[in-house]
Amino acid sequence: MSVPPSPSKDFIREIIDEDLSSGKHESTVTRFPPEPNGYLHIGHAKSICLNFGLAEEYGGRCHLRFDDTNPAKEDVEYVDSIKEDIQWLGFDWGDHLYYASDYFDKLYEWALVLIENGKAYVDDQTFEEIRMGRGDLNTPGTDSPFRDRSPEENAEIFKAMKNGEFDDGSKVLRAKVDMAHPNLNMRDPVLYRIARAHHHRTGDAWCIYPMYDFTHGQSDALEYVTHSLCTLEFENHRPLYEWFLENLPVPSYPRQIEFSRLNLNYTVMSKRKLLQLVEENHVEGWDDPRMPTISGLRRRGYPPEAIRNFCKTIGVTKFESTNDMALLESGVREVLNQNSLRFMAVLNPIKIVVTNYPEGQVEEIESPANPENPEAGTRKFCFSREIYIERDDFMEDPPKKYFRLSPGNEVRLRNAYFIKCEEVIKDDQGEVIELRCTYDTDTPRGQNPSDGRKVKGVVHWVSASHSIDATVRLYDRLFSVESPDSGENSFLDHINPDSVVELPNAKLEHNLADVANGETVQFERLGYFCVDKDSTPENRVFNRTVGLRDSWAKAKDQP
């Protein structure tokens, strides 16, 4: 098979190139093996992009295999969400969908092979006794008092375990390797435990379940996986992975290769901690737009190509590092800048009456739908006597070098006229509720007045009679520090109190009524926003995906 050219290849691709050129393998088979006990996060996206990407690059195939060996924590909800996330990222497993539970019969048969060959035994010790007997890095382990049971006795007891004759936790099956091995994973690891739990696929057919280490490599072998890619925390498990392959009649011999996981600042990647955030209601669910889950990023409006590009940019190495959230957000902006349609929206409105504009008159303005993409065409929106601008774009007593609207000052309405503030209307509490302005008829879009004067301020706006009401949620980073896991405090102590701000009275350009749920657009001058799943025709809901620039970097530079 010909190897695709590449100016620079990571160590995994170099290994694959060598295996193909030497004839060790005729094609490449990878797999993505998630546990269906939670939602995937962006760290999993790196593995997805690597495994499925290699299959595409080398003309091979990538399997999706669910490691469903712990039914107490698994659910069909997670299976469905994982499938959806992978497909949304742009990958397809085709006919190669598998489950570890597909191999329960074979794994049980192979466990008996180990027992018959004197390489596995049933242990009656408790899990705590087993843990204590394993020793540590400086102390060898202690042999179990049940280690020398005969193969015949072990086989008989193991079959009785399968038949439900013993209580949960009363016995386990262990490999007989070496209790003095320098790698703790090789000190007679547990292969099976008794657990009466209803399985989402096999129901109540089994009351013993294999451990991950006894399942993973053999599943790879049964599927003829050539390169089993996993993150660095499994490097110390590789000797055990290979021990099983060497001591069982497997049909193929995969190679395990480890790479560094994706770490990201301003977030946590631990599935346990993400579950804690959900269960303790610190977030609204697994797909909360502040979560690093793929479903959360999708709901926030991140385009899948931005995540794929990010995974490609950070690359594949053997060295652990933490990637900057700003790099991911920059990639999101880059994709959205090219692809998203432009609209105007006013999030915190203040009303303006243009007193010299004829009552009842409506003027249609045409503007590019996306200046970066001429093929997107144009959009039309309306100008009228009453409009809304952002409250932050007006100041009654402005400082020097303030270029937006203020009493007696002029600004340009984006894509429209110069206006000048003539009068400020306040309520009984002294709050500004309306501005009376005049417009210059000599300043249509793109033109300065004939007398040559210019203005530096440009503000966006929407027509009051041609706007729609909406709720806008301003999402920011969930944690206020770069490393919420570090230090003595709980990661929960670092939750950003301003990670979401809801604005219920936004006014949007009327064209936004037709934008579909899940679509991300640009609010001019404000950022990129996605239509949330909570949105209805009566109440449009938009989530801020990312701002137009990195406000966090600017904030960090402040004294």
From 65, 162, 193, 271, the catalytic residue: 271
Q: CA separation (Å) from 424 to 352, 383, 437, 459, 501?
A: 10, 21, 9, 18, 28
Rounded Cα–Cα distance for residues 406 and 394 (Å): 6
Spatial distance between the Cα atoms of 235 and 232, rounded to a whole number of angstroms: 5
Q: Which one from 9, 73, 261, 351 is the annotated catalytic residue?
A: 261
Tell me the backbone φ, ψ of residue 395, rounded to 5 degrees.
-140, 125
CB proximity list for 284: less than 8 A, separation 6 or greater: none
Phi-psi region of 175 (alpha: psi -120 to 50; beta: other; left: phi over 0): beta
271 is an active site residue: yes
Q: Which amino acid is present at 399?
A: P
- Report d(CA 468, CA 508) in Å as an integer: 5
Q: Is 379 a catalytic residue?
A: no
Distance CA 415, CA 447 (A): 10
Q: How many residues appear in the chain?
A: 559
CB 546 within 8 A of CB 529: no
Residue where the block lists tokens 């984006």: 414
**Would you say the C-alpha torsion 80, 85, 86, 88 has a positive or negative sign?**
positive
Q: Could you count the other beta carbons within 10 Å of the beta carbon of residue 397?
A: 7
Catalytic residue (one of 9, 35, 84, 235) = 35
233 and 212 in contact (C-beta within 8 Å)?
A: no
Amino acid at 100: A
* Burial 50-84, CB ≥16 within 10 A → b, else e: bbbbbbeebebbbbbbbbbbbbeebeeebbebbbe
Which residues are annotated as catalytic?
A: 35, 261, 271
